[in-house]
Amino acid sequence: MSETIFSKIIDRDIPADIVFEDDLCLAFRDVNPQAPTHILIIPKKPIAKLGEADDDDQALLGHLLLKTREIANDLGLGDAYRVVINNGENAGQTVFHLHLHLLAGRPFSWPPG
Ligand code: 5GP
């Protein structure tokens, strides 16, 4: 996978407001927040998008979801948050390094736009 803005954040080549890090993942505030709280959770492993994850990534994908839950709890988001993965350009993905959006702090409509 080619270098992305997120791999540069992992490598500390560009700054980010990091809220959590462990061996497998990094979480930081979105530079262009779509809600009062908008965190991006990314694997350190360079997976371009969910559609390119494979069966060997099962534990990693579970880890990302459970860490998202933990971050939501730590930030006091209660049970009012949304988790989004945009997969592919036509679904709105702009950075091709897998990431989960954790959004909270405003009402959310359904279906999403
Ligand atoms: P996508 O559209 O791929 O699902 O989401 C990419 C997200 O990355 C967008 O919400 C965008 O605001 C965010 N983003 C893009 N570049 C940067 C950056 O340099 N720093 C941070 N913190 N977020 C970024």
Q: Which of 30, 85, 87, 99 to mutate to test the pocket of ligand 1 (most atoms within 8 A of CB)?
A: 30
pLDDT in tens, 73-92: 999 999 999 999 999 999 99
Q: What's the length of the chain? A: 113
Asked if residue 50 lies in contact with residue 98, where contact means CB atoms within 8 angstroms, the answer is yes
Q: Report the nearest atom of ligand 1 relative to the CA of 86.
A: 4
Place of tokens 């036509």: 90
C-alpha dihedral (62, 44, 94, 70), degrees to nearest 10: 40
pLDDT score recorded for residue 104: 98
**Residues in contact with ligand 1 (CB, 6 Å cut-off):** 5, 16, 28-32, 40, 86, 92-95
Give pLDDT, residue 93: 98
**pLDDT score at 78:** 92
* Maximum C-alpha span of the chain: 37
Which pLDDT band holds residue 34 (cuts at 50, 70, 90)? very high
